[in-house]
Structure 1
Amino acid sequence: MKTVLITGANKSIGFETARQLLQQGYYVYLGSRDAQKGQQAADQLRADGLDQVEPVVIDVDDPSSINAARAAIGQKTPVLDVLINNAGIHGSMPQTSLETDSRAFRQVFDTNFFGVIDVTQAFIDLLRQSPAPRIVNVTSGLGSLTLHSDPTWKYHAVKPTSYVASKAALNAYTIVLAHDLRDTAFKVNAVDPGYTATDFNNHSGPGTVPDAAARVVKAATLDADGPTGQFYSDDNSPETGISPW
């Protein structure tokens, strides 16, 4: 049975990603900052007959919490097949380039960027034990510098500066990580789940959570012929499914 760790999985897209992977036969370590919320999410999945799930406390902003999660999972399995870096924050609004305090930038980067690096590095040894390891970094179309430079893009005017910068940085890390692992069985990709109706945006997005999660799951379950180092986005590039960086 393949194993997967999903950060920020107690609700919304992360929770639905867990559900869909459980339905495909994966054993899911359901990551959550809050132990109670994680347990409630796992109990809900078990109530639906999806019992190969275990909550794991992991706060991606806290290295000690990441290390504790690594130790806990390492005691249960010598192999991790998939890591989905899903946890993310938007940051307080409004966000402008000239008025947003640098401390606000750091707060968003701690979760959306540095947290991904810390989690990936903490679990890379378990991932290396898998014959087909997959890393999925959940990003946003707002992280595309090419699209932000295009005045005809549908989201051109949407520029929450710290969030945009953090996701652009995450995309850059994804490119380099995929390059560093290019001669291995790893597949490392960034996935934009699309503008989805969740608590993250006060349910303003037109997309559905199941559709968004399916995009993440697709990258998590790529076969040996699948690509690596890509930026998937059905929302911004419906024809190809690949977004410009």
Structure 2
Amino acid sequence: MPVLEIETIRGVQLMTMNRPKSLNSLNEELSSALIRAFHMASEDDEVRVVVLNGAGKGFCSGLDLTTVDSIGEQSSRFQALDEYGWVGRLALAISECDKPVIAAMNGIAAGAGLSLALAADMRYMAASARVTTGYIRRALSPDAGMSYFLPRLVGPNRAAKWLFTGQDIAAFEAEQAGLVDEVYADGEFMPHVLRIAYDIADQAPLALTYTKRLLHASFDTDLRSQLRQEFTSIKACFATEDVAEGMQAFSEKRKPIYRGR
């Protein structure tokens, strides 16, 4: 049974972490499969948006603790020189994917599992789901981008509290704090998330990618640099067939059909 199941329908690629017995805990096999999948999604013109979720009752319960002994092993020169580790490289693969990424948190998201959701562009939770930073409970400091993404989403004070206490956070508290975009009843969760994903997939693919790149660049640049990059990006968009299609569809009062050209 594959540790990661992938299905693409109407431009939406559903990536399902498939280790339900361990609540989809992360080991090197699953992490490597996710890294490959996100890199491939970036290069696949058929994929317009990615939805990441978990099989069974959990989203991702964090690091598979049976792999702890292997985290510090350095069996190759690559591993000895690796500054990120496989969980760090996974956070980069999600964050730097050129397609919008939605984390569908159907159940527990803990530790590195929560970090995966934080690296996504959008997050939704089922009402019964909960999250926890978790690391401090295991005498660990955060990884997989937790200390980068969390304070940017919920503010430094709340991030500090959650990291220092490792407390459980219910879905509606996560929504109020700005960690997730919306919470849906369990039975309605995936239909709502997929509806949003399909709406995004109907948009112009090149404009989606330019927009994602601009959003990510905005955290580490100044206004003048961002304005220059915005101007460069929108000029590139104006040169596409999709802009002409959008204008024609507007004048004809119909839904545009964007082809990424």
The TM-score normalised by the length of structure 2 is 0.30
Which is greater in Rg? 2
Q: Using CA pairs under 8 Å that are at least 6 residues apart, name the structure with larger relative contact order, 1 or 2.
A: 1
Higher helix fraction (1 or 2): 2
